Amino acid sequence: MDEHLRKEEKLSYHILLPRFLFRFLFGLHLALFRVAYKNNDPDPRLCVDPTSTVSKTDNGNSNAQIPDPGAHRGHDKNPPIHYGTAFMRQLVWLWNLRISYPQEEILQLADDVSVAFHRILYDPLMALVFATV
Amino acid sequence: MHLVIPVGTIFGARNSPSFYMEAGETRSHLAGSWPDATSLPLQDLVEQVVLPPSPTPAEAAAFAQAIADSQHQGIANPTTANPERRLPSFVDDSCTAHVSWYFRTAINVVVWAASIAFGFPSEDPTHPPCINPIKWIKDAAVRVKFLGFLLDTRQMRVIWPLNKQAKLSALLLELFLQQSPPHRRGSTPQSIAKILGLLRHGAMVAPLGTLQTLRLQFFLNDIVSKAPAKLRRWWQGIRLVLPCPIINDLRQLQSTLLSDELDPRWSRLIGLIIPRDPTHISRSDASMNGMGAWSADLPHMRRLSMADLKVCAIPTHGRHNPQHHEPKAEQAPAHINTLEFFGIFIKLWFLLRSLKETYDADPTTVPPGGFRILALANNTSALSWLQHATRTKHPVVCRLARLLTAFLSSPFPAAFVRVQGKHLPGLKNTAGSSLPILTRTIVGIRYATIPPSSSSTNMPSPARRLVLACLSNQQRTDRGLVRNKNDRTMDSQASAFRSWLFTTAGYSDITLPGMTEPDALAVLATYLDFKARTALNPQTSDPIQAKTLNNHLQAAAAYLCLVTSLSVSIMSSSSSSNPRLTSFFADILRSRAKWAAPHPKRLPYTHAMFQALASMVKEHLATSKSAHLDLLHTVFDWICLGVFTGSRSGKYAQTTAPKGSFAKVPDSWAPPPKWRNQPLVFLLSDFTLLDENLCVMPPHDALKNPKRCCWLQIRYRFDKSTTNFSLRRYCRGKGFLCPAFAALSIIRRATTLQVPCNEPLGVYRSNPTGSYTYLRSSEIITVMRQAVTAACPNPLHHHRINIKAVIAHSNRVTAAEALFSMKLSIEDVAFRLRWKPESVQRCIRECSQFVDDLTAATISGAAIL
């Protein structure tokens, strides 16, 4: 675990600080995190999953404050998601390509963005909301 | 031990996918719309990309083709405004596709856009590049894997990959082992759910897979619904022994796996998956007298009577939905939903058989992308069963739905045909001239009788076409929520008449068109008599009122006009062509009118009730500082205002709109464009606050200095009367019954809840988080009755005994009674409240109790003309 945390810090995904400092950071909000392993992946991921409540008074922590994606008047907090149509959009694009170029070879290439979610950086003030000890 | 502070978005946060999507779609947008992609410097990753050799002319000639239609016209003429269609991304996964000579440029702009959105590798050497060079696939191909499916651009086909089929096959073999005798250990719910989950992934290209696991799905659903499925150990702990029919289904399914990548059972043409224009359209309809279908594309037409269905051993006993207003005692021959579904089944069978014969004769007749059949019907249940056989557990329908799914999964339809259903309003489902009388669901009967019959006019054909087009436009005109509800009531009354006509009076679709005028009048009179004797108000169980009776007569007459082409004039109760029958109609209606509902119909509000409501509001405010946003205070404000304005509840609350929505001004030619789709109820702009010098105070100023606000001016934007945009001004009162104070409270609430200016002003907080919903008349009535109970604790009090007479309309009664008791003339009251004088007279005549002097004085003193 320690090794994994250090590796992620090296990649600038986290800031690791001595534990005692949490008493001095104004506005710090501690969140539970767990390590998600999937299919024997050698690189497990740190995952903040406060949906597992720890007591009756636990309201699901910071996630509970976030509205559903695309909820009415909640676009600033959680914008609508359109991933569901991605595959159909790809098929429609291929179909239209074939209409335009009936005799041409159509080539494809798939790619993915590494550590996608980490690409979206927090505002420094917001980062404290998801801190973990 | 450390303190860990994340720098970027993390896994598990509920809004991580949403916020990443904004960046990912920005990348897609850049990649798709950058104007000069060829001028971009070639990225390192793109230089590594290897293009496959060009196809030979023979290979190119064998490319599967695509055809243009109204929805797809090639990449140069996009029919959608979606800018991300060129690079669809599913979270971090995306797939670039383009023709070979442009491909390197296309992939270059995609990589460049990723760097623009997420940063170039050189900008931060400690941060890994957004596209990992180690994972970068260098080989461009005609067949790639994207989101778990293989996309083949030569075959224009989506394939469920063999590795997934192998995984499913292994899971099934393991399940067979667990279920095989002699031990039959059984399988865990988790392993069954794994099989179903994996199969559902491939369901888009494999309808057969869904069919073969329907029973397994039902079996698991039944078990889960009765089990503590929230417990993780339950899923892994217990063992389920599957019935033999399910095992047989799964064995058949397993035998189809791993045969061939292009097996039509596990792959599908792209043209069958994406939305496209139909190649064949067919319409079907069914009624209690039979069913019929028609398609212009083959063409074919068929009709089956109920006798034909009985000969075919189709289930012929059942009961119709009670909402169709049929007498429950009468046994209908079959459930209409089942008949409609069966009608669709027969129609599809004819169509597919015909297509198969054509295909067998000449395989080149299959259009690129396959056949798209659009099945139009006016029954949503049947259309739902057509798409998803799992949506019913009714044994007959379930078997029929599975049979249809199996039929559509057989080799020819599965490979070349996609069937889709679409709802068609009943009145339009005439399919030329074959089915108008079979149509059971009647829609738009009020307007259907307007067009002139073909034989009754000498119009030139252009003029006739213009008239019909005009009437057609008129029928399609949006009439708003309330009027549409009235129209639907008339439609259901016409349906009830037709049901009576066919079941009790013995008419059929053959004999009905031959009905003569005298017969029609006699039938109408008999029906009116029948309704007067038997029909009851469903809420009070009293006989229906004369007005409702007359509505039934008008609906029945309209229906007869439609199906018999008889003149409209004879169908009116005021007709003079048959004086005896006219007198008969009038006698029935007059007799019923004499026995109107007993008084009191509506009770006005008294000062004690207002005080009780005010006390409830004060108590509520004492418990919470933000209680003024809640329902109780909202109703109090609008009731206070309502007794001054005399408005119907429809002017400030929702009466027919579903919860969370509001009634709108119809989107038709009648209102100016500015007001179309605006709320019918009051908006913020309808309220104007004025100071003592009659100078307008902006709302925020008025809220800051409420004491300066002396006058409230209301613009009655939309009225039920013929006049809109009338203005009335009210002065500030002294007690808690003050129109200006109520208006300020209403405006403050809407401002606090951040209600947009084009949404209704009548809102209240529906959730502690601050979300709001629109005030409804049913909620007003509930609160008003609570106040009556609080004000009159004695259950023998007149208001308690007649508490059902306290309704939202009580506001109007209170206003009229108060003004009348302060010696205003009927005409003055009518003008101040914007009523008709007759309405004021009737209201005062019917009201059993006058408002007290204090309320009357307050209300009459607040308004200025």
CA of B750 to nearest chain A CA: how many angstroms apart?
A: 15
- Secondary structure letter of residue B330 according to DSSP: S
How does the average pLDDT of chain A come out, rounded?
Answer: 77
Q: Which of B655, B617, B627, B639 is nearest to B764 (CA)?
A: B627
User: Given this model, what pLDDT does residue A91 score?
Assistant: 92
CA of A23 to nearest chain B CA: how many angstroms apart?
A: 10
Interchain CB contacts (distance < 8 Å): A and B: 315
CA of A39 to nearest chain B CA: how many angstroms apart?
A: 14
| Amino acid type, B758 | N
CA–CA distances in Å: residue B50 to residues B86, B100, B317, B705? 21, 11, 68, 74
User: Given this model, what pLDDT does residue B684 score?
Assistant: 92
User: Given this model, what pLDDT does residue B314 score?
Assistant: 65
Per the model's pLDDT, the better-predicted residue between B587 and B448 turns out to be: B587
**Cβ distance B523 to B505 under 8 Å?**
yes
User: Given this model, what pLDDT does residue B306 score?
Assistant: 67
B9 to A117: CB separation less than 8 angstroms, yes or no: yes
Residue B446 in this model has a pLDDT that exceeds 70: no
Give the best-scoring range by mean pLDDT among A39-43, B650-654, B843-847.
B650-654
Name the token pair of B194: 């794994």
B94 to A87: CB separation less than 8 angstroms, yes or no: no
Give the residue on B whose Cα is nearest the Cα of A103: B60
Q: Is B125 helix (H, G, I), strand (E, B) or coil?
A: coil
**Cβ distance B176 to B247 under 8 Å?**
yes
What integer is the mean pLDDT of B702-716? 90
- Name the one residue in this structure whose structure tokens are 């082409």: B565
A113 to B147: CB separation less than 8 angstroms, yes or no: no
Residue B152 in this model has a pLDDT that exceeds 90: yes
Q: Where are the domains of chain A?
A: 2-81+115-130
Give the residue on A whose Cα is nearest the Cα of B769: A65
Per the model's pLDDT, the better-predicted residue between B179 and B321 turns out to be: B179
A104 to B17: CB separation less than 8 angstroms, yes or no: no
Give the residue on B whose Cα is nearest the Cα of A25: B3
Rounded to 5 degrees, φ, ψ at B408 are -75, -15
Using a CB-CB cut-off of 8 Å, the residues of chain A touching B147 are 86-87
Residue B776 in this model has a pLDDT that exceeds 90: yes
B contact test, residue of A22, A62, A112 with most B CBs within 10 A = A112
What integer is the mean pLDDT of B167-172? 92
How does the average pLDDT of chain B come out, rounded?
Answer: 80
**Listing from the earlier edge strand, what are the strands of the sheet with B157-159?**
B143-146, B149-152, B157-159, B267-269
CA of B449 to nearest chain A CA: how many angstroms apart?
A: 43
A14 to B5: CB separation less than 8 angstroms, yes or no: yes
User: Given this model, what pLDDT does residue B532 score?
Assistant: 85
B323 pLDDT band, cuts 50/70/90, is very low
Residue B688 in this model has a pLDDT that exceeds 90: yes
**Listing from the earlier edge strand, what are the strands of the sheet with B89-90?**
A106-112, B93-99, B89-90
Using a CB-CB cut-off of 8 Å, the residues of chain A touching B15 are 66, 69, 77-79
Q: Which of B581, B528, B569, B584 is nearest to B551 (CA)?
A: B528
Nearest neighbour of A99 by CB, restricted to B6, B72, B111 = B72
Architecture of the domain whose range is B275-428: 2-Layer Sandwich (3.30)
Give the residue on A whose Cα is nearest the Cα of B157: A91
Nearest neighbour of A77 by CB, restricted to B11, B15, B273 = B15
Q: Which of B120, B118, B91, B95 is nearest to B106 (CA)?
A: B95
Rounded to 5 degrees, φ, ψ at B264 are -60, -15
B10 to A118: CB separation less than 8 angstroms, yes or no: yes
Name the token pair of B338: 């089942």
User: Given this model, what pLDDT does residue B320 score?
Assistant: 42
Residue B799 CB partners (closer than 8 Å, separation 6+): B603, B606, B609, B788, B791, B792, B806
Using a CB-CB cut-off of 8 Å, the residues of chain A touching B127 are 11-12
CA of B35 to nearest chain A CA: how many angstroms apart?
A: 19
A111 to B137: CB separation less than 8 angstroms, yes or no: yes
Q: What are the tens digits of pLDDT across the range B185-221?
A: 888 888 899 998 888 888 888 866 677 777 788 888 8
Mutual angle of helices B189-201 and B162-179, in 10-degree steps? 150
CA–CA distances in Å: residue B322 to residues B106, B442, B503, B578? 60, 16, 16, 35
Using a CB-CB cut-off of 8 Å, the residues of chain B touching A101 are 99
**Cβ distance B348 to B419 under 8 Å?**
yes
Residue A107 in this model has a pLDDT that exceeds 90: yes
Q: Is B618 helix (H, G, I), strand (E, B) or coil?
A: helix
Residue B364 CB partners (closer than 8 Å, separation 6+): none
Residue B247 in this model has a pLDDT that exceeds 80: yes
Domain with CATH 3.30.420.10 in chain B: 275-428
Give the residue on A whose Cα is nearest the Cα of B118: A119
What is the b/e burial string over B16-27, where b = at least 16 CB atoms within 10 angstroms of the residue's CB?
bbbbbbebbbeb
Give the residue on A whose Cα is nearest the Cα of B83: A89
In angstroms, the CA B343 to CA B347 distance is 6
A47 to B131: CB separation less than 8 angstroms, yes or no: no
- Secondary structure letter of residue B514 according to DSSP: G
Kindly give the pairing relationship between strand B89-90 and strand B267-269.
unpaired
Using a CB-CB cut-off of 8 Å, the residues of chain B touching A16 are 2-4
Residue B583 CB partners (closer than 8 Å, separation 6+): none
B76 to A100: CB separation less than 8 angstroms, yes or no: yes
Q: Which of B350, B410, B345 is nearest to B383 (CA)?
A: B345
B82 to A102: CB separation less than 8 angstroms, yes or no: no
Using a CB-CB cut-off of 8 Å, the residues of chain A touching B140 are 107-109
CA of A33 to nearest chain B CA: how many angstroms apart?
A: 9
With a pLDDT cut of 70, the percent of chain B lying above it is 83
Q: Which of B635, B546, B534 is nearest to B590 (CA)?
A: B546
Residue B460 CB partners (closer than 8 Å, separation 6+): none
Give the best-scoring range by mean pLDDT among B223-232, B296-305, B438-447, B784-793.
B784-793
Residue B519 in this model has a pLDDT that exceeds 70: yes
**Cβ distance B555 to B494 under 8 Å?**
yes
Using a CB-CB cut-off of 8 Å, the residues of chain B touching A11 are 126-128
In angstroms, the CA B168 to CA B200 distance is 11
In angstroms, the CA B68 to CA B86 distance is 18
**Cβ distance B254 to B198 under 8 Å?**
no
**Listing from the earlier edge strand, what are the strands of the sheet with B696-697?**
B696-697, B687-690, B711-716, B726-731, B863-864
User: Given this model, what pLDDT does residue B816 score?
Assistant: 86
User: Given this model, what pLDDT does residue B860 score?
Assistant: 63
A114 to B130: CB separation less than 8 angstroms, yes or no: yes
B4 to A13: CB separation less than 8 angstroms, yes or no: no
A16 to B2: CB separation less than 8 angstroms, yes or no: yes
Q: Which of B571, B578, B592, B593 is nearest to B529 (CA)?
A: B592
User: Given this model, what pLDDT does residue B579 score?
Assistant: 66
Residue B542 in this model has a pLDDT that exceeds 90: no
A105 to B89: CB separation less than 8 angstroms, yes or no: no
Using a CB-CB cut-off of 8 Å, the residues of chain A touching B274 are 88, 91-92, 95
pTM value is: 0.58
Residues paired with residue B600 on neighbouring β-strands, in sequence order: none
User: Given this model, what pLDDT does residue B760 score?
Assistant: 93
A131 to B6: CB separation less than 8 angstroms, yes or no: yes
Mutual angle of helices B336-361 and B395-408, in 10-degree steps? 10
- Roughly how many angstroms between the first and final C-alpha of chain B, as a whole number? 78
Using a CB-CB cut-off of 8 Å, the residues of chain A touching B135 are 112, 114
In angstroms, the CA B832 to CA B13 distance is 58
In angstroms, the CA B88 to CA B27 distance is 10
**Cβ distance B315 to B365 under 8 Å?**
no
